[in-house]
Structure 1
Amino acid sequence: MNISFRYALGASAGVLLGMVLPLAGGDTAALLTELSQLVILAGRFLLFPLVFFAMIAAVDELHTKGALGKAGMLSAVVLFLCTVVSTLLGGLAILAFSPQRIPPMVQEGRITAPPSLIASFLEAIPANAFRVFVLDDGALAGILLMALLVGVSFKHDRSVSSPLSLVVDSANRIFYRMNRLLVGILGVLVLLPVAALTVLLRDGADLGLFSQFLLVLIVAVLVMAVLVYPAILYLFDRRRTHPLRWLSAMIPVAVAALGSGDSFFSLATLTRVNRDSLEIPRAVGASVSPWVALYGRAGTALVSMAGFLLVIRSYTALDIGLGDLMLLTVSTVLYSFFLARTPAGGVLLMLSFLASRYGRGMEESYLILLPVMPLLERIGAFLDMMTAGFVTQIAATRGQGEPRR
């Protein structure tokens, strides 16, 4: 069965299941939440060894071709531009369409302290290199950095590195086959996270207050993911990149992100889509996608910017000028690159950061968005992963590798 069709079918079944199940005083939501967490953990189970060995092999191949620097620079520039444009779009959408203000509500919730930027670096780079393999589940950056260094070192003495490169290549192929099988199973199991989200939205009593905001937000995200990205890909390579084909191939990644709100879970699906559906060479897909999924938070930035402006407009009568918008954009874009240790929940952390820095005495104001926070996280994750697919495709179409035959 086609992987896109399988994920679409699983998501449809999840929505249907979530609509027909009784709410039962919250018991249904609690059960589905636990089951969806089990599915997400299963989807992330193979990710670290998969990206570790794939990154080494991919970096070695690009470094041997002399294309590593070009691929990295191109990906970084495109990612930065995507994040800036998305953040601006989120802010302008709120200012232009002025969705309904949200009346101040007392929400039960603990203020999330934004992580220290310096602490983020310290946690990502341990003093002992072996510790990157035993750190917590958010420490993918250390794994990628270690793989990058190993891959670069292979070129210097082939007589020494050739035996290890064969082991790395074999390990990568084995883990890819395992992940390919797992992703195929997840196409069915994704119905559980989707059903959990559906039940949670059914049980939300305050969703009507956020309807206009959610509509503006969804339209802004779709403009980027469904219009801007495919159009740019078509302009970059009209012969091989058809917009509808790319969108169809990205359906599993979109469903995984919307269902889980977790970039690590979705990265496992993107890895299979890159090779099987989009035919992106391993040298590009394995070296670009993990870094972009880790640091590319264009969707999280868009949702956070839009949410914070809504909160400010709801609590005050202050006008947001162009200067204020640019200042918020710069802060949001820069801070988005420090969410690498947060594969899920980035919107909440970003809002906490913006409120603490620009809340003007209303540091708790963002808590009024808690009723729709699960949905906001998933909308942000959707655009995050579509951005990862977009940047990877750009890197592949700009001479970093030919499609597999």
Structure 2
Amino acid sequence: MKIWMKYLIGITLGLVAAFILPLDSLQGSSILAFITEIVIRIGRYTLIPLLFFSGIMAVYRLNDAKLIGKTVLWTVTVIVISSLLLTILGFIAIVVVKLPRIPIITEKVSQATTLDIQGMVRSMIPFSSIDSLSEGSFLLPAFIFAMIVGAGCCMEHSNLKPILSLTDSLSELFFNVSTLFTDLLSVGIIAIMCNWTIQFRDIIKSGVFTPLIIMLTVIFIVVAGGIYPLLIRLLCRGGKPYKVLSACIVPFITAFFSGDTNLTLPINMRLGKEKLGIRQRTNGFAYPLFSIFARGGSALVVIISFVVIWRSYSTLNIEFFDMLWISGTAFLLSFLLGGMPVGGTFIALTVLCTMYGRGMETGYLLLKPAAAIIGSFAALFDAATAMFGTYIVANNTKTIEKHRA
């Protein structure tokens, strides 16, 4: 059975379970949350070794093929342009469409959330290189370590053939193990879907956030079904955009219902290789970078959410230059969310409200009940960006196997 069919069956069973099982009680919710957490842990279980060994071989092979500079340039360019594109799209959408106001609520404010940029920089280069492999959420330290080791292998590899052979074998091993775990996740997605449905059902019942959900859904259809395929037509000679879109089914399911960008990464890497024929040298290099930095979906959702909050508090229009500041800040914040694979979108919204001030410091509380849902949409946009973006990089560096392209 094809993997997308397994996942579709899984989300169907999860949807049914949410309506027929008594999970609304405190005990039922606690058990379901525990099972969901275990499933996500299983999904991430082999991610670090897969990223590490694949990253080493990616750098070595890209350098050996004299493609390292071109791949870096294309990857960085696509990440920046995709994030900027989604930011502009969020700006245009919320200016053109005025969503209904959200009723003002009174809630006690907890301690303000901040982004510890200095701490993030420190964590990128820990005191021990081994520590970089122990962080399960922030993937950048492990990726940097892999790049350093890969660069070391490029300097004098004549005496390193046994190590390169072992590393290549370990990369293949953990890819196979990751494939096994992504198959198991098709069963675990039942719990994830069940948990998500219960949260979503309560939000839909209130009706308060339905216009926002509809708007984000329409924008996603336009992006994934129109804009990204068009970019592949323009940027990729012989590109097959709807083949890429068909490969996105499982990543879309995983990203949207888990809201976890790290959980989606091994699935992207698997389907990028199996369905799109993206070679290991690009697969192990571009996908992790997209997962860490290409968070334009968060920028789009944050911009729309912030303006909804503003319009709920005030009948005045936001000045054009204020909108530029909001959009630019959301764009920059999106690059700092790599250490927050879950919940980063709402944290970015919190930080934006705090930075903007003018009585908006606690405005994020209006969207707190829908925090998981807006995080789901952000992860959905980012999953599409990673899949389409990596395909563009692979196509333009000619690292797609011909018999699959």
TM-score, structure 2 as length reference: 0.95
CA separation of 1:25 and 1:204: change in aligned 2, threshold 3 A = farther
Match for residue 266 of structure 1 among 253, 264, 267: 264
Superposition map of 1:271-350 within 5 A: 271-350=269-348
Residue 151 of structure 1 pairs with residue 150 of structure 2: yes
CA separation of 1:124 and 1:54: change in aligned 2, threshold 3 A = same
CA separation of 1:112 and 1:150: change in aligned 2, threshold 3 A = same
In 2, Cα distance between the equivalents of 1:87 and 1:390? 17
Given residue 344 of structure 1, which amino acid in structure 2 is its aligned partner?
V
Question: 1:140 matched to which residue of 2?
Answer: 139
Question: 1:20 matched to which residue of 2?
Answer: 20
In 2, Cα distance between the equivalents of 1:183 and 1:353? 34
Superposition map of 1:24-35 within 5 A: 24-35=24-35
Question: 2:401 matched to which residue of 1?
Answer: 403
3-state SS of the aligned residue for 1:152? helix
Shift of 1:26: 4.1
Residue 242 of structure 1 pairs with residue 257 of structure 2: no
CA separation of 1:359 and 1:9: change in aligned 2, threshold 3 A = farther
In 2, Cα distance between the equivalents of 1:354 and 1:301? 11
Match for residue 255 of structure 2 among 237, 251, 257: 257
**Which stretches of structure 1, 4 residues or more, deviate above 6 A after TM superposition?**
none
The answer to whether the 8 Å contact 1:6/1:187 transfers is: yes
Shift of 1:206: 6.2
Q: Percent identity?
A: 28
The answer to whether the 8 Å contact 1:100/1:210 transfers is: no
Residue 84 of structure 1 pairs with residue 84 of structure 2: yes
Shift of 1:74: 0.9
In 1, Cα distance between the equivalents of 2:133 and 2:338? 16
Question: 2:54 matched to which residue of 1?
Answer: 54
Question: 2:176 matched to which residue of 1?
Answer: 177
- Structure 1 unaligned blocks of 5 or more: none
Residue 194 of structure 1 pairs with residue 193 of structure 2: yes
Given residue 237 of structure 1, which amino acid in structure 2 is its aligned partner?
C
Shift of 1:111: 4.6
3-state SS of the aligned residue for 2:397? helix
3-state SS of the aligned residue for 1:385? helix
3-state SS of the aligned residue for 2:336? coil
3-state SS of the aligned residue for 1:81? helix
In 1, Cα distance between the equivalents of 2:364 and 2:21? 31
Deviations 1:364-404 (A, max 9, x none): 11111011111111111111111111110000110241316
Given residue 383 of structure 1, which amino acid in structure 2 is its aligned partner?
F
Deviates more, 1:288-297 or 1:317-326: 317-326
In 2, Cα distance between the equivalents of 1:232 and 1:390? 9
3-state SS of the aligned residue for 1:159? coil
In 2, Cα distance between the equivalents of 1:192 and 1:109? 31
Residue 69 of structure 1 pairs with residue 69 of structure 2: yes
The answer to whether the 8 Å contact 1:78/1:391 transfers is: yes
Match for residue 378 of structure 2 among 374, 377, 380: 380
Deviates more, 1:279-288 or 1:186-195: 186-195
The answer to whether the 8 Å contact 2:256/2:379 transfers is: yes
Q: How many residues are matched?
A: 403
The answer to whether the 8 Å contact 1:94/1:216 transfers is: no
Deviations 1:210-231 (A, max 9, x none): 1112211221222222221122
Deviations 1:192-249 (A, max 9, x none): 111101011223476401111221122122222222112211333363x333321111
The answer to whether the 8 Å contact 1:303/1:347 transfers is: yes
Deviations 1:247-271 (A, max 9, x none): 1111111111012111111111111
The answer to whether the 8 Å contact 1:10/1:190 transfers is: yes
Given residue 202 of structure 2, which amino acid in structure 1 is its aligned partner?
D
Shift of 1:138: 2.2
In 2, Cα distance between the equivalents of 1:74 and 1:172? 24
The answer to whether the 8 Å contact 2:18/2:198 transfers is: yes
Shift of 1:31: 2.4
The answer to whether the 8 Å contact 2:70/2:397 transfers is: no
The answer to whether the 8 Å contact 1:359/1:365 transfers is: no
Question: 1:122 matched to which residue of 2?
Answer: 122
In 2, Cα distance between the equivalents of 1:117 and 1:318? 34
Deviates more, 1:222-231 or 1:110-119: 110-119
Deviates more, 1:265-274 or 1:158-167: 158-167
3-state SS of the aligned residue for 1:22? coil
Question: 1:233 matched to which residue of 2?
Answer: 232
Given residue 351 of structure 2, which amino acid in structure 1 is its aligned partner?
F
Deviations 1:149-185 (A, max 9, x none): 1112212212222221111101001111111111112
Deviates more, 1:90-99 or 1:8-17: 8-17
TM-score, structure 1 as length reference: 0.95
In 1, Cα distance between the equivalents of 2:301 and 2:183? 30
The answer to whether the 8 Å contact 1:29/1:199 transfers is: no
The answer to whether the 8 Å contact 2:282/2:394 transfers is: yes
Shift of 1:124: 2.0
The answer to whether the 8 Å contact 1:194/1:259 transfers is: yes
3-state SS of the aligned residue for 1:209? coil
Shift of 1:64: 1.1
